Structure 1
Amino acid sequence: MIVATTRTALGSTFVLSVMVLSACSDRGTDAPDVSASVPSPDLAEVDSRHGVELTADAWDRIRQMAEVPALRPNPTNRVADDLGAARLGHRLFFEPRFSVDGTVSCATCHDPEQAFADGLAVAQGIELNARNTPTVLNAAHQRWLTWDGRSDSLWAQALEPMENDREMAGDRLSIVRTVRDDESLAEAYESLFGPLPELPDSLPERARPRRDGRTDALSEAWAALDPQTRDDIDQVFVNLGKSLGAYQRKLLSGDAPFDRFVTSVDSGRYRPVDEFDDAAVRGLELFAGDAGCWSCHAGPMLTTGEFHNIGVPPKAGGMPTDSGRYEAVQLLKDDPFNAAGRYSDDTTGPNARLVRGLIDSPENWGRFRTPSLREVARTAPYMHEGRFKTLEEVLRFYSTLEGAVQLDHHQEKVLEPLDLSESEISDLIAFLRSLNGSPSAPEFASPPF
């Protein structure tokens, strides 16, 4: 049973939760620093104009939500910030020939017109998938990728959908051939990585390993290749992934109405900001104050990057069957393309050490990564199964926790019903809509042709 508490008490409850979770989490360096504090501006003008009472503590949290840092370097990918690699990755992202039937590309599910998501409850590639498509906007700021965190870099994550049976169902041998046989792609590739390998004419039409331990015709064909040929193909495959990773590092957004509001307040000469009205300010006050949303959605990406089981009821009813982070930890450790693997460009650095040190626990069962809230109003539906169609549905769930299934052992410290009024739900939605920004690199925010 979920025991209700007052929202005023919720903030201190969450602080305890973060302390407990830190002791048993696998988070990396993406968790925001909530310890630093600088003097708050005079908030009297904001309070009087908008009918709120923003506290100094709340303003510290708000400021940190607007202070988007420069991207951290990714030493596991030596071309992570190479413009030529980003341009090649841009082309690869929209390339359907990598799929088994030539109909599906990365952009099929990550559509620029839909904030690099797809607007569907669950992704539709070659087959229907089981999870909602997360946006790749601002994904470069995340330590773990996908809902369960089974990838630790953009480049490694980009490789999985190409061969996933439900997504693109391609194979790395065919993909390498496609690049080799396309004069323009081959030229772009070789300008970055050197000559493409010579592949024997005797190779099968298709071949790839499986990641799930099963065997099929394609994995048997892969196993029959000699080790040098497999390595040559893998290296090209990895380089394509690293180019895709470089491209996705360009998919950043910023200058949202919320960001402009914080800049205006901190300037000491506050002027109201278009698209950040009274309702948005009231919603921000709730978000950073009594509602306690900041406890999981803190920092410049409005996420701590932690994994939680918040009890969202499965769409099919009954108890959850998706293990989430529980299986993902081992998948990540077994991934030959992780930060510690032989194809990483930094096998001894902090990212590699973090992967090697990951320890799984049954407590991870059913936990999913807390998503960023930047661009959230553009990426419906919500939750890992696309359970909720609108932000209003999400907030009503948090308000009542109606239908919530049994949560993990941290549940009583992490989540309580918020008991929101109708006006509070409207105000929070107004704030969340203010997190829609504009692309930082517009030339990469649309197809390359």
Structure 2
Amino acid sequence: MRTARGHAAIGALCGFLALSACDSGALSEDERAKIASLSIDALGPLPPSPGNRYADDPQAADFGRLLFFDEGLSGTGNISCATCHVPDQQFQDARPRGLGADETDRRTMPLAGAAWNIWQFWDGRRDSLWAQALTPLEDQREHAGNRAAYARYVAETYADTYSEIFGALPDISEIPENASPFGSETERAQWSAMELEEQEPVNRVFANIGKAIEAFERTLIPTETRFDRFARAIAAGKEPTGDAAFSDLELEGLRLFIGKANCLECHNGPRFTDDHFHNTGVPPVAGLPEDLGRAVGIAAVQADPFNCLGRYSDAGPDACDALRFMKRDAAAMERAYKTPSLRGVAGRPPYMHAGQIATLEAVIDHYSSAPAAASGQSEIRGVVFTDRGRQALIAFLNTLDATPASDP
């Protein structure tokens, strides 16, 4: 069995080996098969969201879009999901760390294709898009609000729309204006003072806010790139033409990526991610709280009342395989973070889970030097690479940015 230590290269952009320029001649059958596996044409249909019966309801998606852009879903009245997930910036914010009511500890992740994720957040502390959508709403550095206020806001602003999708709103007229298991000391005290039967309808409305937002986010599909047009031509046995034709340098970079550089260990499939977690020796950011990554996320996703097995999920227990059978060895996951998709990566600096690395060139340097992890065990080992190999890999990664097709 291959161990994590045995990976030749793993991580946010994979390990980059000391490789000279590749021959840009005819692709082998093995290379063609690997290229086809990375194409957007291999993406397949949206996976089910077992915990959300409204996940593919068009009316719920329309409602979710309203909520996604509604600054009323914040404690300050000026923050929406789109504050950090900016539509014309790949639904992220181009900042080292997200900024809502205050700066957070981690980088904002893009949303296109997130419906295919097995786990959400860099540490996988949520197991669905709808559970993920709820978390920033009560984070005091993000939306800085609380679930009682959100339930009231929906009842006052969207009562008819909500009722058409989820059924009649429960009576929440007697609940406190501000209450939550998170938030300020006063809000937490108000929540603790509520009876369970008073908390239940608030939680139900809160969960449905997340389910509507997920329905919208499931409409955010990865956009076709130059690489996809190249891959489509190759799969059809044709010579790529127009902007689908790769330069010698781009082709060399692609061959390194799918071959000797071993990037496919982690960045595989049409979203260029294995959806798993890896310690790649990325240094912590000075001044931020200790971040142990997936080692903490394991317990957090199990404890989340909105997870697939929770009472607000629409799934039966047999439908929650990812949660039921996930790896629970926290020690093995110390400072391990989710492999990000590489689609659009060249236009999405800075890099890593807290924006520690500014450029793709610097990412290559990180994987070349392979520093020891601050704790836990890094899965990469140092390599040397040629300038040509570095240039080729970056040239290929640039083909993963979304671009409209041009005429041949």
Q: Which amino acid aligns with 1:186?
A: A
Matching of residue 435 in structure 1 with residue 403 in structure 2? no
Q: Which amino acid aligns with 1:171?
A: N
- For 1:36, the equivalent position in structure 2 comes to none
- For 1:11, the equivalent position in structure 2 comes to none
Trace 1:44-443 onto structure 2 (pairs within 5 A). 51-52=24-25, 54-66=27-39, 67-182=42-157, 185-201=158-174, 203-210=175-182, 216-274=185-243, 276-316=246-286, 321-351=290-320, 353-358=321-326, 359-401=328-370, 403-405=371-373, 408-409=376-377, 411=378, 414-437=379-402
- Could you report, residue by residue, the CA deviation over 1:306-353 in whole angstroms, capped at 9, with x for unpaired residues? 1111001223299x93110111111110100000001110131332x4
Q: C-alpha distance in 1, partners of 2:307/2:132?
A: 9
Q: CA deviation at 1:437?
A: 2.7
Q: C-alpha distance in 1, partners of 2:82/2:385?
A: 37
Maintained 8 Å contact 2:294/2:330: no
Q: CA RMSD in A?
A: 2.5
Maintained 8 Å contact 2:298/2:330: no
- For 2:11, the equivalent position in structure 1 comes to none
Maintained 8 Å contact 1:52/1:285: no
Maintained 8 Å contact 2:69/2:82: yes
Maintained 8 Å contact 1:120/1:132: yes
Maintained 8 Å contact 2:50/2:319: no
Maintained 8 Å contact 2:118/2:322: no
Q: Which amino acid aligns with 1:283?
A: G
Rate the CA distance shift 1:186–1:418 in 2: closer, same or farther, 3 A. farther
Q: Which amino acid aligns with 1:405?
A: A
Rate the CA distance shift 1:398–1:55 in 2: closer, same or farther, 3 A. farther
SS for the counterpart of 2:323 is: helix
Maintained 8 Å contact 2:334/2:375: no
Could you tell me which runs of 5 or more consecutive residues in structure 2 were left unpaired when the two chains were aligned.
Answer: 8-21
Q: CA deviation at 1:187?
A: 1.9
Maintained 8 Å contact 1:323/1:366: yes
- Could you report, residue by residue, the CA deviation over 1:50-103 in whole angstroms, capped at 9, with x for unpaired residues? 824644333322211112111111121001011111111111111111111111
Q: Which amino acid aligns with 1:271?
A: P
Q: CA deviation at 1:254?
A: 2.9
- What is the TM-score with the length of structure 1 in the denominator? 0.81
Maintained 8 Å contact 1:131/1:386: yes
Q: C-alpha distance in 2, partners of 1:360/1:278?
A: 44
Q: C-alpha distance in 1, partners of 2:151/2:403?
A: 35
Q: CA deviation at 1:200?
A: 2.8
Maintained 8 Å contact 1:120/1:381: yes
